[in-house]
């Protein structure tokens, strides 16, 4: 177990190093000079001032020196200094990560629970109308552009029937509410973005849960259990369900990077103050240190989630560890 873990960690470290090098090179390769852009933000600059700024950020040194400096800093937990926000990137990311995690975790949980429920139910009456309905709904969920769903939800529930807040994470006067009031306020703001984000993954999970449930229900040991006279309910919910959930959880882990992508669109539509909006803003400002930091941080999260899922998997299903 320990060996596996350390091998996974080593692998993860290699992966993250590759992410850093690749992104750094990509942004470096791009046409245009970040210093010129920076000078642009300040309203233009003379060649002398440009050279001065370039030297100030160490951008006049050869590529490999810059890269090594950057890697060295990251190793010490320093993701650099944002050009635009004029703040340490690590701080900027930590400020925003909470909001994104809240959104993503709520959406994933909702999608997992509801998706598994729908999948299991539809697997039980395969070829029945319910199964068809779940299939169709999940295809529809996959096919609708997520930002479009968000806009339509806003138009419906914040404009036509004004029952939910339009956007953001808290009300203008949240500062005057008590702790419970604030929590309720954030919860109200979460409803639409969470539903929007969950709609995509609901589709995936319900289909996956359905498929793996069908697999498990057809497997020998469930047949044996049924033959032994265990009740249908017990078989489905105790034995089969647990085994059917494994692939869904694994898939959720693998898909985590894509969840972050979805969050960029959803956060933009709902002005949710998370990493997605930060990424979009820093892209629009050509704030490469922040952008690099966010890409790295998302990769870090994905890797961590995958290791966690992997470990969880081994705990649930000891057969894997034995392989």
Partner 1 sequence: MSEPPVMTSMPPMPPMPVPEPVSPARQAWRMFRRNGAAMIGLALLLLVLAEAALGPALYSVSPDDMVWMPLTPPGASEYWLGTDYVGRDLLAGLIHGGRVTLIVGGSAAALTVAIGVLVGAFAGYYGGRIDNALMRVTEFFQVLPNLLLAMVVVMLFGASLVNIAIAIGAVSWTSTARLTRVEFMRLREMDYVRAERSIGASDARLIWAVILPNAAPPLIVSAALSAGTAILFEAGLAFLGLGDPNAMSWGRIIGDNRPYVLDAWWAVTFPGLAIFLAVLAISLVGDGLNDALNPRLRER
Partner 2 sequence: MATLAGALGAPLAASAEGTLTAFTSGYRSLNPGVQSGAATGVPGSQIFAGLVLIGADYGAEPYLATGWEVSEDGLTYTFRLVEGATFHDGAPITSADVAFSLDVVKANHPFGPAMFGKVETVETPDDLTAVFKLSEPAPGLLLSLQPLLMPILPRHVYGDGQEVKKHPRNMTDVVGSGPFKVEENNPAEKLILVKNEDFFIEGRPKLDRIVFPLVKDGLTRMLMVEKGEIDYAPFSGAKPTDAERLEEAGGVTVSKDGYGAVGYIHYLEMNLRDGPFADVKVRQALAMALDTGFVARVLFGGRAEVGTGPLHTGNPFYTADVPRLEPDMEKAAAMLDEAGYPAGSGGARFGFTLDVPSWALQSHGPMAEYIRAQLGKLGVSVELRRAPDFGTWVSRISSFDYEATLNGSFNYPDPVIGVHRHFDCDNIRNVIWSNTQGYCDPAMDALLDAAAVEQDFDVRKGIYAEIQQKAVADQVFIWMPEEFTTTILGARVEGAPDGAFGPLAPWDEMTVSAE
- Contact residues for partner 1, defined by CB under 8 A: 14-15, 18-19, 22-23, 26-27, 29-32, 126-127, 132, 135-136, 139-140, 142-148, 151-152, 155, 159, 214, 218, 254, 257-258, 260-262, 264-265, 268, 279-280, 283, 286, 291, 294-295, 298-299, 302-303, 306
Q: Alpha-carbon distance 285 to 49, whole Å?
A: 20
Taking CB atoms within 8 Å and a gap of at least 24, the contacts of 187-191 are: 188/164, 189/164, 189/165, 190/102, 190/103, 190/106, 191/157, 191/164
User: Is 38 an interacting residue with respect to partner 2 (CB under 8 A)?
Assistant: yes
Closest C-alpha to 155, from 167, 138, 139: 167
Residue with tokens 């000891």: 318
From 89, 169, 208, 295, residue interacting with partner 2 (rule: CB under 8 A): 169
Find out whether 31 and 322 touch, Cβ atoms under 8 Å.
Answer: no
User: Is 286 an interacting residue with respect to partner 2 (CB under 8 A)?
Assistant: yes
Task: Write down the least CB distance from residue 31 to partner 2, Å.
Answer: 10
From 8, 61, 285, 314, residue interacting with partner 2 (rule: CB under 8 A): 285
User: Is 246 an interacting residue with respect to partner 2 (CB under 8 A)?
Assistant: no
Task: Write down the least CB distance from residue 170 to partner 2, Å.
Answer: 7
Q: Alpha-carbon distance 241 to 187, whole Å?
A: 30
- Structure tokens given for 193: 């973005």
Neighbouring CB atoms inside 10 A of 299's CB total 20
User: Is 39 an interacting residue with respect to partner 2 (CB under 8 A)?
Assistant: yes
SS3 265: helix
Task: Write down the least CB distance from residue 256 to partner 1, Å.
Answer: 9
Q: Alpha-carbon distance 232 to 225, whole Å?
A: 9
Residue with tokens 């489905």: 236
* Piece in contact with partner 2 (CB under 8 A), picked from 7-15, 84-92, 198-206, 254-262: 84-92
* Piece in contact with partner 2 (CB under 8 A), picked from 32-40, 61-69, 123-131, 141-149: 32-40
> Which residues sit at the interface with partner 2, rule CB under 8 A?
32-33, 36-47, 84-86, 95-96, 154, 158-159, 161-173, 175-177, 181-182, 184-185, 187-189, 268, 271, 273, 277-278, 281, 283-286
């Amino acid at each position: 177990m320990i060996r596996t873990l350390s091998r996974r960690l080593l692998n993860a470290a290699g992966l993250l190093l590759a992410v850093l090098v690749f992104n750094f090179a990509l942004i470096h390769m791009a046409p245009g000079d970040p210093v010129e852009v920076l000078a642009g933000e300040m309203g233009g600059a003379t060649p002398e001032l440009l050279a001065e700024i370039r030297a100030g950020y160490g951008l006049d040194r050869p590529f490999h020196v810059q890269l090594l400096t950057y890697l060295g800093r990251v190793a010490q937990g320093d993701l650099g200094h944002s050009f635009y926000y004029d703040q340490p990137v690590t701080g900027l990311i930590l400020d925003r990560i909470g909001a994104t995690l809240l959104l993503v975790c709520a959406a994933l949980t909702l999608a997992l629970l509801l998706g598994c429920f729908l999948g299991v139910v539809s697997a039980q009456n395969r070829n029945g109308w319910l199964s068809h309905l779940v299939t169709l709904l999940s295809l529809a969920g996959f096919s609708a552009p997520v930002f479009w769903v968000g806009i339509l939800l806003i138009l419906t529930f914040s404009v036509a029937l004004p029952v939910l807040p339009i956007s953001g994470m808290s009300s203008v006067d949240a500062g005057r509410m008590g702790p419970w009031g604030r929590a309720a306020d954030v919860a109200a703001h979460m409803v639409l973005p969470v539903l929007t984000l969950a709609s995509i993954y609901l589709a995936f999970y319900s289909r996956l849960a359905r498929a793996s449930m069908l697999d498990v229900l057809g497997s020998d040991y469930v047949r044996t259990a049924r033959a032994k006279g265990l009740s249908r309910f017990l078989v489905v919910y105790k034995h089969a369900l647990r085994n059917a959930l494994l692939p869904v959880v694994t898939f959720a882990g693998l898909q985590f990077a894509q969840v972050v992508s979805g969050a960029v669109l959803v956060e933009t539509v709902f002005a949710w103050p998370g990493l997605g909006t930060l990424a979009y803003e820093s892209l629009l400002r050509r704030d490469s240190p922040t952008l690099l930091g966010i890409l790295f941080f998302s990769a870090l999260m994905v890797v961590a989630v995958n290791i966690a899922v992997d470990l969880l998997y081994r705990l649930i299903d000891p057969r894997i560890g034995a392989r």
